[in-house]
Structure 1
Amino acid sequence: MTTTLMVRITRLTPVAKGVVALELRSADGRELPAWSPGAHVDVHLAPGLTRQYSLCGDPADRSVWRIAVRREEPGRGGSQHVHDRLSERDLIEVGEPRNHFPLLPAPRYLFLAGGIGITPILPMLAAAEAPWELHYAGRTAASMPFRDELPADRRVTLHPEDECGRIDLDALLSRHEPGTLVYCCGPEGMLRAVEEGCARWPGRPLRLERFTPAPAEGPDEAFEVELARSGRTLTVPAGRSILDVVEAAGVGVLSSCREGTCGTCETTVLAGAVDHRDTLLTAEERAADDTMFLCVSRSRGPRLVLDL
């Protein structure tokens, strides 16, 4: 079981069209666990309904966490539950913060946010110790949460699509010096455009965070997994995940999202080639083939050896 704690919603307020912010405080009055910019938490909304939300408040303030949730129509049920069922004073269960999108040292930063994708980037702006620039896109100004909290200076440019058209990501990337570390969080179309742009303009290392699963790619064939610590070899058939097979065999693995976005089921790979299908690892981390997420990733060969 993952470590969880009870928190109380002490404030629930609209912060943009279709977006609410929740302030969470420990139910027993204790300090909340520490976190760093880019971290997210699992929020257990109801049995079988767990979602991950980025922390977007002040990491130095251990008395309160803040998350923001955009209502998705249609969605998978999480955002509707938050908007329709939760109220101030409600108690909810949350996990401890995890960070697969950390702010790394760099000579300069380019932050790119789309809509609710501003949430993990917001605390990075305050923590960055090098020059930075933010370009924040949304369908309309009214739909862009926390825009009033951003510094009112030349480092910040808002791009409401109804006023100035779509953001020219390739032009932005082309004019930034090699070595600029690019952080991007937003809708899938924006993320793919930034990935393609960084490939055209080398020397702009890229860190992405996705809120939804990446499109499934690659073959779905059977393979074997050897569990080194358990001394067992299991067959993972087409159509089933490693996580499902391992759990069915009675081997405990921590998990949460089951779609490659939260990082809970990360497992060390001792041998074999991984077909990475998560949204978390960088290209360099994938090339190393020493870790994987069991809920979505598969094998590129007949066998994997895992530290389980």
Structure 2
Amino acid sequence: MVHSTAVTPDGAVRRIDLAPQRSGDALPSFVPGSHVVVRCGDDASAPYNAYSLIGAPHAPSLYSCAVLAVGAGSRWLQRRRPGDLVEIHTPRSTFAPVLRARRHLLVAGGIGITPILSLARWLGSTAEVHYVHRPERGAFAEDVATSCDARISTTRAGFESGLADALTRQPLGTHLFVCGPTPLVEATLSAARAVGWPESRLHTEAFTRPDAPRRSFVLELARSGRTLPVSSDESVLDVLDTAAVSVDRQCRHGVCGRCRTPVIAGAVDHRDLFLSDDERTRSDSMMVCVSRAAGDRLVVDL
């Protein structure tokens, strides 16, 4: 069941509280930085979107997330009213805090504040937040400011100046977490690398799949020995469907994890929102609805 509340002055971002259908039912706990996948519609073709959880992670009585009115799915969810039912999946973590970290530097732009807020609340004084947002779009700015050391800006210049200073004065053992628009994420990572941050201490989360160029490659099915060409304008799942190879699926957007397929050989160009950084590094599985080969050939366990 759903309850919706505006959290920005312009009403573009709303807090959505999702309660169990039966009052008193327990909800699974989750790791700070986790998200839930929500089916945003009533028909079979409805999209599945991922939303970060912003509430208390331990023994929650409801799941709370913040939804920006962008896209048909998010607008549909914003229009739900108390008593309406929505379908969600168990919380999934791809942006969890690093327990061995000495400190966390958390960077957010716009609606990217949602997983950062969860981390900031849990980490408290061991975290520093840099948050930039448009005027009238500062969702949860006060919550972040009271959770930990925070620098909040509505100008790009002010944000970049503060972040540049923060990147050079963190103690050894600090991990950087960044979430927001792609240009902000890329600029933050570039600035961190330029001053010597190692890749192992850089963590990102996106709300959309990377819109990178797609290349053609050959897909090999290990069980049958079949080889299938995958063109630049086809997904692996499209090719498997055409070849009558059955693969479980649901969202077709890389968020639900249902089409996860073991990879035997070849590098994977991961474009999903489901796998963790460690799982992507291992490249022993992929979401065939969105991910592709990073080279000329990919062998999967089908």
Per the TM superposition, whether the score is higher than 0.5 is yes
Counterpart of 1:107 in structure 2 is 102
Alignment of 1:113-152 (within 5 A): 113-128=108-123, 131-140=126-135, 142-152=136-146
Identity over aligned pairs, percent: 33
Per-residue deviation, 1:214? 1.2
Query: What RMSD over aligned residues (CA atoms) do the two structures have, in Å?
Result: 2.6
| Corresponding residue to 2:18 among 14, 24, 27 | 24
Counterpart of 1:208 in structure 2 is 204
Counterpart of 2:29 in structure 1 is 34
Per-residue deviation, 1:276? 3.4
Q: Which runs of 5+ in 2 are unaligned?
A: none
Contact 1:137 1:167 in 2 (8 A): no
One-letter identity of the residue aligned with 2:29:
A
| Matched pairs, number | 290
Per-residue deviation, 1:160? 1.9
Aligned pair 1:69/2:67, yes or no?
Answer: yes
Cα deviation, 1:46-93, whole Å, max 9, x if unaligned, reads 132221111111112421110111112xxx31222233x322221111
| Structure (1/2) with the larger strand percentage | 1
Larger deviation: 181-190 or 269-278?
269-278
One-letter identity of the residue aligned with 2:228:
T
Per-residue deviation, 1:161? 2.1
The structure-2 alpha-carbon separation of the partners of 1:182 and 1:261, relative to structure 1 and needing over 3 Å to count, comes to: farther
| Corresponding residue to 2:169 among 175, 197, 206 | 175
Partner Cα distance (1:263, 1:194) in 2: 28
One-letter identity of the residue aligned with 1:276:
H
Counterpart of 1:237 in structure 2 is 230
The structure-2 alpha-carbon separation of the partners of 1:223 and 1:91, relative to structure 1 and needing over 3 Å to count, comes to: same
Per-residue deviation, 1:31? 0.9
Larger deviation: 194-203 or 35-44?
194-203
Cα deviation, 1:77-135, whole Å, max 9, x if unaligned, reads 1222233x322221111111111111122111101111211111222123228721111
One-letter identity of the residue aligned with 1:114:
G
Cα deviation, 1:253-305, whole Å, max 9, x if unaligned, reads 344252x4565544332112323344666777655433333222222444322
Partner Cα distance (1:178, 1:268) in 2: 37
Cα deviation, 1:9-28, whole Å, max 9, x if unaligned, reads 1x211011311001111102
Contact 2:16 2:65 in 1 (8 A): yes
One-letter identity of the residue aligned with 2:96:
P
The structure-2 alpha-carbon separation of the partners of 1:284 and 1:94, relative to structure 1 and needing over 3 Å to count, comes to: closer
Partner Cα distance (1:57, 1:21) in 2: 10
Per-residue deviation, 1:170? 3.1
Q: Which runs of 5+ in 1 are unaligned?
A: 1-7
Counterpart of 1:293 in structure 2 is 287
| TM-score, with length taken from structure 1 | 0.83
